[in-house]
Structure 1
Amino acid sequence: MIYRLQSLKYWLAGRRPEVGWREMLRFMTEPVYKKKALSAIDRVELDDGYRVVHLKNFERPLFYPAELPVESLYLSLSEQFYPGNWHDYEKLEETRVRHGDVVLDCGAGEGVFSLAVAGRCERVYTVEPLPRFVEALERTFAGVENVEVLPYALSDRAGRARLSPQDVSSSLQEEGESLVEVPAETVDNLRRSLGTRIDYMKVDVEGAEAAMMRGAESTLRECRPRLAVATYHVVGAAGEIKDFLEGLDVGYRVRFTGVAAREGEPFMLHAWCE
């Protein structure tokens, strides 16, 4: 409840005028994320070190590492499946995944978004650096011909990255005792190596969003994909990404949604070209 009060404080101070009072009232009174998540789950089984999560209306289960906090899974499910959530990547009509899209899921985590959209896509490239999640994703999407799991951290340069191996909130770090080193790539390099177009990019890379976008400049210029970008991790990231997209001068329109507890930053940036 504290984070909701923080969001309300910044909204009352006028930080996010695009959020109306009805939307704020809904946010303040909606169920807690665990209750929202449980409404999407049919049953959960334990098998070989994984929670095998059977979701309502999905034939294929989601594999989630059993040793990781189940609260993180509940949070991801509530963000994906609860209507009207500020974290909803497809909240706006202009930035929804369309039939036949080629989708780049940047920061796939446990794979909820990829699982939700794969059925209407030509192809989904599911990009996730955390090794334990990569293993889980390969189980979730085993035999799914139009989903490819790519084990990379995304940034503005290729090389190696040091990752805090926590859960879905794992982020790039400069130093620390329990860091995991993973391969890092740019979106532009990946697209060139795959030889594909990109129609849609979902971006939630735990604070590295601005750097990742810089590494996607050629893709943004040439493909002009629709974008749904999480912007609440770092203060100032929303404005930085907006300025970057508009500076490309390829026709991107930008809209923010939500009020985050961190300094009243927008939850999400949605962008599209008309």
Structure 2
Amino acid sequence: MRRVRILFYWLFFNKNNINFFELLKFLIKPKVDVIAKKFIKKIDSSDEYNKVTFLNLNRELYWPKKFSVSGIFQVTAETFDSNDWHYYQYDKTQVEKGEILLDIGTAEGLFPLVVLDKCSHIYMVEPSQYFYNSLNKSFEQNKEKTTIFNLAVGNKKDKVFFNEDSLDGQISNDSKASRSIDVETVDSLIGDNKITYLKADIEGFEYEMLQGAKETISKNKPKIAITTYHKQNNPDEIIALIKSFVPEYNYFIKGIHGEEPKPVMIHFWI
């Protein structure tokens, strides 16, 4: 049904830089677990984690057993399959040697794990305690070039309730079902440190994050790969905000979301 909706959106709403052949490839592609298994060597289970070994990666990913292995397949396809509309490294937003990555909404950390050797440093921001613990295990041998923050980011310093039970992780109003976490701005978190690449997928709070990243983006002019398909996202507002910081940014929208005809990603570069 999702693929039918996307075909309908492509025909009658927005093509979002998807040509006919890319659409056709999407409509007939295998299910996500089939794609992911092309890149996964094995998954070993222990008490707390599933340890994932990949065919072309010399380090393992630790996935909390709290969450279904179907999530492993999803992020593997998004990270390794260059035809996936959620793929971060579009032609103009490739991670290059010496990159300083700020990964907001790191989750399990597969993207930074894949690009680790290219980066001189990686900052990771992840509010989930489950993923924060697994990130520390996945990057245990690389502490000198990684910094992991267990908090959320927004447009002001704050405290919010965060629902730990969801794989996606959501801000919640229910204190009984959540724990209180700190919210910082990107500008206060990064300060005078340099970044050259900003990747963000934070479940609809991308705009608020960007509002708190004005100085960081204006000063560093990083490549940006940001998701725009969540219900709260307005892609036009995100484009306008980023270009108000740095008018010379080029941008490229990509993909069609299954729930409404929004782009999946927007890529920015100078």
Instruction: Give the shorter-chain TM-score range.
Output: over 0.9
Letter in 1 for 2:25: R
The corresponding residue for 1:40 is: 39
Partner of 2:71, secondary structure, is helix
Q: How much has 1:14 moved relative to structure 2?
A: 3.1
The corresponding residue for 1:119 is: 117
The corresponding residue for 2:103 is: 105
Letter in 2 for 1:21: F
Alpha carbons 2:105, 2:202 under 8 Å: kept: yes
The corresponding residue for 1:155 is: 154
Q: How much has 1:204 moved relative to structure 2?
A: 0.2
Query: Which residue, out of 214, 217, 221, partners 2:218?
Result: 221
Change (3 A) 1:248 1:83: closer
The corresponding residue for 1:73 is: 72
Q: How much has 1:171 moved relative to structure 2?
A: 2.1
Partner of 1:172, secondary structure, is strand
The corresponding residue for 1:188 is: 187
Query: Which residue, out of 220, 227, 230, partners 1:230?
Result: 227
Alpha-carbon displacement from aligned partner over 1:206-226 (angstroms, at most 9, x marks no partner):
111111111101111100110
Unaligned runs of 5+ in 2: none
- CA distance in 1: counterparts of 2:16 and 2:133, whole angstroms: 42
Change (3 A) 1:21 1:235: farther
Alpha carbons 1:126, 1:149 under 8 Å: kept: yes
- CA distance in 2: counterparts of 1:232 and 1:246, whole angstroms: 19
The corresponding residue for 2:130 is: 132
Unaligned runs of 5+ in 1: none
Q: How much has 1:236 moved relative to structure 2?
A: 4.6
Query: Which residue, out of 256, 261, 264, partners 1:264?
Result: 261
The TM-score normalised by the length of structure 1 is 0.94
State the percentage of identical aligned residues: 28
The corresponding residue for 1:53 is: 52
Alpha carbons 1:65, 1:132 under 8 Å: kept: yes
Aligned residue-pair number: 269
- CA distance in 2: counterparts of 1:201 and 1:21, whole angstroms: 30
CA RMSD of aligned residues (A): 1.4
- CA distance in 2: counterparts of 1:254 and 1:156, whole angstroms: 23
